[in-house]
Amino acid sequence: MKRKINKKRITRSSFGAGMLYLLPSILLFGIFLFYPMFKTLYLSLFWTDTQGNPVQYVGLENFMYLFESPSFMTSIKATLLFVLYTVPVGIVLALILALLANENVKGIGFFRTMFSSTIGMSVAASSVIWMLMYNPAIGIFNKILSAIHLPELQWLLDPDYALISVAISTIWMNTGFSFLILLGGLQNIDERLYENARIAGVGTWYKLRNITLPMLSPTLFFVVTVSIIGAFQSFGQIDILTGGGPMESTNVIVYAIYKDAFINYDVGLASAQAVLLFFCILFVTILQFKIGERRVHYQ
């Protein structure tokens, strides 16, 4: 009998201790993540006034409106295209750089620092630099184009090029992070695996396909997942470079949410879009894990 009581007391007190350890993260997550998330879900079911206060419960009407709105469809299209432009190219580029920087040659530290340096640049600062480079009159890109006798482009003002231009700058901004993670993954691969390959005498391409990529697959999977989520959520560079224009060609969902909430003061509609974006990312991530599980070789 006595023992049982003791046991219960211990369980209760250890539960309390556990909660105490969790408290800081629970507080942070609660205030900055869970509360806003549920509030968004709640608001997406209401019409709101200009202050963002719910005025009338409308059920799924905000969502119905979005699915019929051509502007929202443009947003979705822009977002998907943006993901498509930035993720594959960005990862392949970072992988190539990581493979180069993984070679043990003199002065490789310099290149490793260079290749990862974009991680230290804020989105805002790099966007301003890219804006100058894209400038039709004084930007370096048009200078290069005219130097090789090609027609100059209105990089950020032409609806056909604006999204690609933003994508290029985004790839540059993300390279440092992806590079660093991939390099870490490469350095974790057992050198003996390559030594065995050297004794067998297999070619470079064979080594890349049969050793490096499979061994790197958990890292690659992580980078792909994080990059996709990051691309879905890009905001800063779009705000600074194009402001969603021209002709809504770069009006990705996150930017549309921002505009609806803080420029048009339609918080209900913005919340509905945020909810859709949430489920969209959730769906893609689940899909990735389902597919990824079969392709990734954890050691």
Partner 1 sequence: MSAIHLVNIIKSYDGKTKVVEDINVEIQEGEFFVLVGPSGCGKSTMLRMIAGLEDITEGDLFINGNKATSLLPHERNLSMVFQNYALYPHMTVEKNITFGLYKQKLSKSEQKKRCDEAAEMLGLTPYLQRKPKALSGGQRQRVALARAIVTQSPICLMDEPLSNLDAKLRTKMRSELRQLQRLLGITMVYVTHDQTEAMTMADRMMILNHGQIQQVGKPLEIYNQPNNEFVATFIGAPPMNVANMKVIDHTCVLSDHITIPLPHDVDPTASYAKIGVRAEDITLASENDYLFTGEIVNVEILGTETLLTFAIDEKNQWLAKLNGQWDIQIGEKVPLSIESHHIHLFDEHGQTMFQSKKKAVSSYQVKDALPKEKLL
112: CB partners within 8 A, 6+ apart: 101, 183
CB closer to partner 1 out of 21 and 298: 298
My answer on whether omega of the bond before 136 falls inside 30° of 0, hence cis, is no
**Which residues would be at the binding site for partner 1 (CB under 8 A)?**
190, 192-193, 195-202, 210-211, 214-215, 217, 297, 299
CB closer to partner 1 out of 43 and 95: 95
Minimum distance of partner 1 from residue 95's CB (angstroms): 18
Minimum distance of partner 1 from residue 108's CB (angstroms): 18
Minimum distance of partner 1 from residue 11's CB (angstroms): 37
- Residue 55: enclosing H or E segment and its boundaries? strand 54-57
State the distance between the two ends of the chain, measured CA to CA, in whole angstroms. 48
Residues 232 and 79 sit within 8 Å (Cβ to Cβ): yes
CB closer to partner 1 out of 138 and 200: 200
Minimum distance of partner 1 from residue 216's CB (angstroms): 11
CB closer to partner 1 out of 2 and 198: 198
In whole angstroms, how far apart are CA 61 and each of 72, 91, 241, 256?
15, 39, 33, 18
> What six digits make up the tokens of 154?
């209105």
Q: Which residues pair with 178 in a beta bridge?
A: none
Phi, psi of 48, rounded to the nearest 5 degrees: -125, 160
In whole angstroms, how far apart are CA 123 and each of 147, 171, 177, 221?
29, 11, 13, 24
Minimum distance of partner 1 from residue 206's CB (angstroms): 8
CB closer to partner 1 out of 149 and 192: 192
Minimum distance of partner 1 from residue 96's CB (angstroms): 22
CB closer to partner 1 out of 105 and 148: 105
Minimum distance of partner 1 from residue 200's CB (angstroms): 3
CB closer to partner 1 out of 5 and 199: 199
In whole angstroms, how far apart are CA 170 and each of 119, 152, 158, 177, 213?
12, 22, 18, 12, 25
